[in-house]
Amino acid sequence: MDKAKISGERALEFVKQFEHIREAGTAGERSAAEKIRGYLENQVLGSIVCAGADGRAKEDQASGIVIRQEPFSFIEQEIQEARLIVTEPYEKEYTVTGCGGCGSTPPEGVEAPFLYVENSDEISLSYARGRIVLINGIVRRELYRELVRAGAAGFVMLSGTPLDEGEDLRPARRKVRGLEETPIQGVTVHYKDAAELVEQGASRARLVLRQRQVTRTSQNLVVRIQGTDRAQEILTVSAHYDSVPEGPGAYDNMAGAAIVMELCRYFTLHRPRRTMEFLWFGAEEKGLLGSLDYVCRHREELAAHRFNMNVDLAGQTVGGTVIGLAGEPEVCRILQAYAREAGMGVSFKNQIWGSDSNSFAWKGIPAMTLNRDGFGMHTRHDTVDLLSAWSLERSCRLLAMIAERLAQAEVFPFDRKVPKKFLEELEQYFEK
């Protein structure tokens, strides 16, 4: 295989090495970081650079290529006990998962009347006071606060579909982020159990939730290629390599990690005029924690950053190509011209995007996420079986064209500017 050429086959082989769950802060994520690092050292950088085994950056002065491993810690809620027991008019305990981030009930739990409030509209919620409420949907911070205002005693949300069988009947693991106060607690039940609760007329229940804070460690991997004659300007190409605990995340997002690897290889052999950093972020699924650590750790240098090219969701055979761009509309037109040159169809969405590109945009750096529409994200069905070399190669080529044009341009083609409305949305998005 020609080392200097982009290869979808090679990207697919790369993804196949990671058919395991890589939840941030667990051994699965750590071993994935080690594998990525090993692949970089043995298959990509080879003799160009040999990184120190102690985890510190080691630079080969002659090559101008550095590999770094950047560990960071984060706090997580570990669920110790979660139960939902209907006590009237029948007695039954349901399988539930605890909702993280919303504190603990007393050890014996909370017992209260039970009520289905559908979409938690204003009228339904006016009956919520003192009740454990079942909600048709997902409780996020805003809804949590509404439930507290309505005086609910607890909440039950649902996940899944009426078609699920077997393993898929397990309720999803969810959490509410960014709560300062946690006066009420909640759990998730499967759709089929939610239907039973309503049909059987559950009218009283006991809810138990106990959780505690634990500190975990994740890590980012970075390869920096020093630019030749525009080295003072920095471009980043990034993807997260962690997964959710529900599945092995081939599409979300080992495929993205493989695309970044292909581009990294390409630029070691076609040296860029601008400095480039290739980033494999940990803990994206925990709330973009890897990229947030990166923009914080390197804040002194962010003024030199011109653009972030992130990939999240990639490689499935059937799907559409989308670029979400947090930047001036003009940047969409520029990228569209590159896509046309590459002969790749892509639709643009000029908006912020729920992935690591947001951390850059929040700091005023224009940022994009290359995304492929697809199936099964955050489920056990997100496996390499739905991926293909053909799809990976197309995304690699598209991103390589964009990166190449931007890395080699005589004058960088757009300003380091993020529209005010996006910055405002990002303030909200990252509200702690």
* 84-94: b (≥16 Cβ within 10 Å) or e: bbbeeeeeeeb
Number of residues that bind Zn ion (CB under 5 A): 3
Q: Which stretch binds Zn ion (CB under 5 A): 170-178, 195-203, 286-294, 308-316?
A: 308-316
CB 238 to Zn ion: min, Å: 11
Residue 261: closest CA among 13, 56, 1: 13
CB 295 to Zn ion: min, Å: 18
Binding mask 264-303 for Zn ion (x = CB under 5 A): ----------------------------------------
Residue 284 CA to residue 172 CA, distance in Å, equals 18
CB 50 to Zn ion: min, Å: 31
DSSP H or E segment with residue 27: helix 27-39
Residue 262 CA to residue 203 CA, distance in Å, equals 57
Residue 288: closest CA among 27, 74, 42, 59: 74
Residue 86: closest CA among 210, 211, 200, 192: 200
CB 45 to Zn ion: min, Å: 26
44 backbone dihedrals φ, ψ, rounded to 5°: -115, -55
CB 267 to Zn ion: min, Å: 23
Residue among 193, 252, 356, 393 that touches Zn ion (CB under 5 A):
252
| DSSP state, residue 242 | -
Q: Which stretch binds Zn ion (CB under 5 A): 59-67, 135-143, 214-222, 247-255?
A: 247-255
Q: Which is nearer to Zn ion, 120 or 371 (CB)?
A: 371
Residue 372: closest CA among 284, 311, 288: 311
Residue 119 CA to residue 100 CA, distance in Å, equals 21
Residue 273 CA to residue 270 CA, distance in Å, equals 10
CB 35 to Zn ion: min, Å: 18
Contact yes or no for 314/259 (Cβ under 8 A): yes
| Helical spans, DSSP H, in 173-254 | 191-199
Q: Which is nearer to Zn ion, 151 or 287 (CB)?
A: 287
Task: Check residue 253 for interaction with Zn ion (CB under 5 A).
Answer: yes
Q: Which is nearer to Zn ion, 253 or 316 (CB)?
A: 253
Q: Which stretch binds Zn ion (CB under 5 A): 102-110, 129-137, 312-320, 384-392?
A: 312-320
Q: Which stretch binds Zn ion (CB under 5 A): 11-19, 176-184, 252-260, 264-272?
A: 252-260
- Classify burial at 324, counting beta carbons within 10 Å of its beta carbon; exposed 0-12, middle 13-18, buried 19 or more: buried
Q: Which stretch binds Zn ion (CB under 5 A): 153-161, 167-175, 253-261, 410-418?
A: 253-261
Q: Which is nearer to Zn ion, 233 or 252 (CB)?
A: 252
CB 244 to Zn ion: min, Å: 8
- The residue ranges that bind Zn ion (CB under 5 A) are 252-253, 312
